[in-house]
Amino acid sequence: MPITEAQLLRIYPNASQRAGVFVPALNRAMQRYKIDSPVRQAAFLAQIGHESGQLKWVREIWGPTPAQQKYEGRKALGNTEPGDGRRFLGRGLLQVTGRENYRKTGAALGIPLLDKPELLELPEWAAASAAWWWANHGLNELADVGEFEQITRVINGGLNGQRERLELWARAKEVLA
């Protein structure tokens, strides 16, 4: 079921004018990847809301921080060429990071992300990449059984930002009920 701009603004009160830009892209992405029930949508919107600062960031803020400096040459991310760390920094609503993840995401979405990584900064591809990643990692099924903490662990590797994620989830469940 599609969400409206008014609903998204109730979930993300800090999204202001960005909500209207993202609603059509989010609706297409959620439909395509079967994020199609209130429980799935609430969990998805809570997680991307945290990861993107309520749609504020579709590109990782680059310092580079010590953690970001470790992207360079990191084989687990597929960063094998000089400059890959910065070139394939986190982008999209779930922050796709690393050459290999860009390759997989680009292949799944049918877009040339290795040549144009900045495509993930556009609302359409920011939303589609997040929804594809979500579905590809079994998060619809975890949402169906209310395993929100496990969803956070899959996305984040831990529970960073869990308090805000839970607040967004509670709001999203109320709005989408």
DSSP result, 98-155: SHHHHHHHHHHHTS-TTT-GGGGGSHHHHHHHHHHHHHHTTHHHHHHTT-HHHHHHHH
Tokens for 65?
């921080």
Each residue's pLDDT tens digit in the chain (177 positions)? 899 999 999 999 999 889 999 999 999 999 999 999 999 999 999 999 999 999 999 999 999 999 999 999 999 999 999 999 999 999 999 999 999 999 999 999 999 999 999 999 999 999 999 999 999 999 999 999 999 999 999 999 999 999 999 999 999 999 999
Domain interval for residue 14: 5-56+123-176
The phi, psi pair for 96, rounded to 5°, reads: -60, 130
Same domain, 158 and 115: no
pLDDT value at residue 17: 85
Same domain, 127 and 50: yes
Q: Is 46 part of a structural domain of the chain?
A: yes
pLDDT value at residue 64: 92
pLDDT value at residue 106: 98
Same domain, 11 and 27: yes
pLDDT value at residue 55: 97
pLDDT value at residue 177: 93
Contacts 24+ apart (CB under 8 A), 21-26: 21/123, 22/55, 22/123, 22/126, 22/127, 25/123, 25/124, 25/126, 25/127, 25/128, 26/127, 26/131
pLDDT value at residue 16: 87
Tokens for 4?
């409206």
Q: How far apart are CA 126 and CA 2, in angstroms?
A: 18
Same domain, 71 and 104: yes
Q: Is 61 part of a structural domain of the chain?
A: no
Same domain, 145 and 102: no
Q: Is 104 part of a structural domain of the chain?
A: yes
- The CATH number covering residue 107 comes to 3.30.20
